[in-house]
Chain A
């Protein structure tokens, strides 16, 4: 049974490790699962939201661009329908109309021209000198003649500047085809697309069917246009349909390409943004979550380590305490059997000693009767007989001590005269005191009332206190004074020494279990704590005063027997007393 209490450091280290691992597993594992799940669903939903946002933005802008173009066509068509070819052929008239248009539509138009069926511009109003310009080979002219109206791609043309044309075909009363064309202000058109901004890397632009830029992107678009070309080929002519493609660009960064068709499928509006930039919130959330997770795990680890260590320390203390208790029980058992043995021996020795003493007495009796005046050795006989008597009495004292020790090993409360107990303990400690060069004095108040206490326990307390004082005085010698006195309804036993004293810091912890200042292996730190427990159990109190360099005084307060609260004189048993007369 004893072996179960003996654990080495390895066992406690193993216990600590086990506890830490269990705590970590139980708390970190669910944390990881929950964090991962939340992050995963957050990412998915955030991606969806971000993409939806991009799509709707691109769709809105595509509508805006389409509306702009439709409006420009409508402007020119209305103008063309309201007047005849002849009227437009007058350049002054044309200039007036251009001015009006520019006033009404915030300078959307740069110039205005009238082209006859042969492709010759018969009249022109605008900043360039393009009268009589021949457009018969121009793509836009061919397209415009075929259709009712035409919006050209952006091109440099005769003027050498990027621009595009809105042309409307009309038929005059004599069946002649003529075209009213206007150049749309490129800057204004360009700003419509450039204004689409998002994040740091978002760029919007318009491409034609050949993949040529129809606007100047806000930033250089380095990536190839194959994404857009694929789009042009596959998803062609599905108005309002917005497509998103995620693909790494030449530098390796993943880019988002959001595309939709414009101008009845002739152009596409594309928006390109770095994925990292588009999903910046996801990245910052992920970083924040990682930070929180790391700190959380660190906290858990810290708590696990601290708590486990604390608990294992408690457990080891409890184990130690158990072990000590066990030893104490064994010790008490040993003491009891020693007591029984002592009692047996004392009884056995008493009889022969009594006979020896009486026989010596008998010789003395007989010597008185004999006439031995002449006997030379008479005095020597008498001395020897006295010596036998004296030594016999000494034997009696020894057996008495043994018997009283044996009788007091049982921890049962008895009505006890504390002075007797104190005297016994002091006598027991005298030997050690002499070796340590310590003067052990008892100073007992007479007529002390008795107390209902266990003699063995009081013995233990007294021995402990005196031994502590002796330990303190071991090196230098000194004086220990044990005093008994009556204070109210308590008997106070003071154990005072003039040793080195106890530092203030230790004084507060002196009754704590396992508190010891003795070297390892010398003290268990349990003595005073057990004393404290014993005295408390008796309804008493144990206090200490100490000053470094002056000495230490322990005061044990023990309540007197309830008998004395009524009558003062005890009907107690005094060794060899006369009960009959008491």
Chain B
């Protein structure tokens, strides 16, 4: 665990601010590569590698969308979702689940998650969902 928060804004100046995405996944390799690829697709991405890091990051700044892994070592994704929803109710949360944890995913939806995706997921699908979530969030 590196413990440091990587902040990236490699994108050229745009009139509209880039959608801000918070990634929380204890699988460092996955979170890192996902940050890189999402950043390339015009998202301002912060990658964190545990539940507590995610909470810290959210304390520092606001995000439009959080992408949260359901299964993490220090914290259950559902727990984190509850905390996020308390901290910033307007932030959309997309859950990443392992296949077959439909029940947990359903529980997440009930607790206010925007949607869920089963891991490993198509990047295009994730991008589409994040964009959709941003739209919703902006409308709120």
When chains A and B are docked, how far (Å) is the Cα of A75 from the Cα of B39? 165
Nearest to A358 among chain B residues (CB) is B33
User: Given the known A-B contacts A351-B119, A392-B120, are A362 and B33 also in contact in the complex, defined by CB atoms under 8 Å?
Assistant: yes
B37 contacts A350, C-beta separation under 8 Å: no
When chains A and B are docked, how far (Å) is the Cα of A358 from the Cα of B121? 9
Residues of A contacting B100 with CB < 8 Å?
Answer: 343, 346, 403-404, 406-407
B contact set with A: CB distance below 8 Å: 27, 29-30, 33-34, 36-37, 40, 71, 98-100, 102, 105-106, 109, 114-121, 123
Residues of A contacting B71 with CB < 8 Å?
Answer: 347
Residues of B contacting A399 with CB < 8 Å?
Answer: 99
**Which one of A353, A396, A407, A576 has the greatest number of beta carbons of chain B within 10 Å?**
A576
Interface residues of A in 36-82 (CB under 8 A from B): none
Number of interchain pairs (Cβ within 8 Å)? 69
Residues of B contacting A576 with CB < 8 Å?
Answer: 117-118
B123 contacts A351, C-beta separation under 8 Å: no
Output the least CB separation between B83 and chain A (Å).
21
When chains A and B are docked, how far (Å) is the Cα of A392 from the Cα of B109? 28
Output the least CB separation between B35 and chain A (Å).
10
When chains A and B are docked, how far (Å) is the Cα of A407 from the Cα of B100? 7
Residues of A contacting B106 with CB < 8 Å?
Answer: 573, 579
Residues of B contacting A573 with CB < 8 Å?
Answer: 102, 106
When chains A and B are docked, how far (Å) is the Cα of A453 from the Cα of B127? 37
A347 contacts B120, C-beta separation under 8 Å: no
Output the least CB separation between A92 and chain B (Å).
151
Tell me, yes or no, whether A222 is within 8 Å of chain B by CB.
Answer: no
Task: Give which listed residue, B33, B40, B120, contacts A353 with CB less than 8 A.
Answer: B120
B98 contacts A347, C-beta separation under 8 Å: yes
B99 contacts A403, C-beta separation under 8 Å: yes
Tell me, yes or no, whether A1 is within 8 Å of chain B by CB.
Answer: no
Nearest to B103 among chain A residues (CB) is A573
B36 contacts A357, C-beta separation under 8 Å: no
A-B contact pairs, 30 of them (CB 8 A): A346-B98, A346-B99, A346-B100, A350-B98, A350-B99, A351-B119, A354-B27, A354-B30, A354-B120, A354-B121, A355-B27, A355-B30, A357-B120, A358-B30, A358-B33, A358-B34, A358-B37, A358-B123, A359-B29, A359-B33, A361-B33, A362-B33, A399-B99, A403-B100, A406-B100, A407-B100, A573-B102, A578-B115, A579-B105, A579-B116
B120 contacts A580, C-beta separation under 8 Å: no
Q: How many residues of A contact B (CB 8 A)?
A: 29
When chains A and B are docked, how far (Å) is the Cα of A458 from the Cα of B121? 30
Output the least CB separation between A193 and chain B (Å).
118
User: Given the known A-B contacts A357-B120, A358-B123, are A351 and B30 also in contact in the complex, defined by CB atoms under 8 Å?
Assistant: yes
When chains A and B are docked, how far (Å) is the Cα of A580 from the Cα of B27? 27
Tell me, yes or no, whether A567 is within 8 Å of chain B by CB.
Answer: no
Nearest to A404 among chain B residues (CB) is B100
B115 contacts A355, C-beta separation under 8 Å: no
When chains A and B are docked, how far (Å) is the Cα of A352 from the Cα of B29? 8
Output the least CB separation between A400 and chain B (Å).
5
Tell me, yes or no, whether A519 is within 8 Å of chain B by CB.
Answer: no
Nearest to B124 among chain A residues (CB) is A361
When chains A and B are docked, how far (Å) is the Cα of A66 from the Cα of B71? 132
Tell me, yes or no, whether A146 is within 8 Å of chain B by CB.
Answer: no
**Which one of B27, B71, B102 has the greatest number of beta carbons of chain A within 10 Å?**
B102
User: Given the known A-B contacts A358-B34, A396-B120, are A580 and B98 also in contact in the complex, defined by CB atoms under 8 Å?
Assistant: no
Output the least CB separation between B105 and chain A (Å).
7
When chains A and B are docked, how far (Å) is the Cα of A582 from the Cα of B128? 18
Tell me, yes or no, whether A575 is within 8 Å of chain B by CB.
Answer: yes
When chains A and B are docked, how far (Å) is the Cα of A557 from the Cα of B16? 59
User: Hey, what's the 0/1 contact readout for A348-389 against B, CB within 8 Å counting as 1?
Assistant: 001111110111011001000000000000000000000000
User: Given the known A-B contacts A350-B99, A573-B102, A580-B114, are A365 and B37 also in contact in the complex, defined by CB atoms under 8 Å?
Assistant: yes
Nearest to A366 among chain B residues (CB) is B40
When chains A and B are docked, how far (Å) is the Cα of A573 from the Cα of B103? 9
B118 contacts A575, C-beta separation under 8 Å: yes
Output the least CB separation between A388 and chain B (Å).
12
Nearest to A577 among chain B residues (CB) is B102
